[in-house]
Copies of this chain bind each other. A is one copy, B any other.
C-alpha cells in the first residue's frame, strides 16, 4: 500500500497513477502552505497578504497596477482588490489612480509595509528551507524540475 493510500485511509488503491500524483501534489502543497503560514501568524498577515507585499517590494518606486499583481499571483482580480483593501487598512500599502491611464490603480508599499516585509525575509526563508529540508539538494532540484514541467504543460 502506498504511503498516500495509508494517509487517506482508503482501502481501495488509486484508480490511476495520475490520480495518485494529483492527490499527493495537492495534499503536499496544502501542508507546506500551512507550515509557512504559521510563521506569518505572529505578524497578523496571511500568506496571500505576504505575497502581495513581496511582489510590491519587487516593483519598487514605480508601483504596480492591481491586475499586474494578480497576474504574478495567478489570482483573479476580485481577490486582489479585497486583499489590497485589507493591506491598505493595515497601513502597509498605498493606492492611487494612475494619472496617465485613469483606469489603472497603482499600488506601493508604505514605509511600514517595506519594513515588515524586510523583517519577514529571514523567518520566511527559514520556514521555506525547513519545509523541504528532508530532501537533499539534488532531490530539491529534481522536484523543482518536475514541478516546472507540470506547469509548462498547461
Residues of B within 8 A of A4 (CB): 144, 148
Chain A's interface size range is 35 or more
User: Which residues of chain B come closer than 8 Å to A58, judged between CB atoms?
Assistant: 10-12
Contact A149 B139 (CB under 8 A): yes
- Chain copies in the assembled complex: 2
Does A1 sit within 8 A of B, measured CB to CB?
A: no
Is the CB–CB distance between B133 and A18 below 8 Å? yes
Q: Is A121 an interface residue (CB 8 A)?
A: yes
Encode A18-31 as 1/0 by CB contact (under 8 A) with B: 11111011111111
Binds B, one of A32-40, A77-85, A93-101, A109-117: A32-40
Identify which of A4, A35, A153 gathers the most chain B CB atoms within 10 Å of its CB: A153
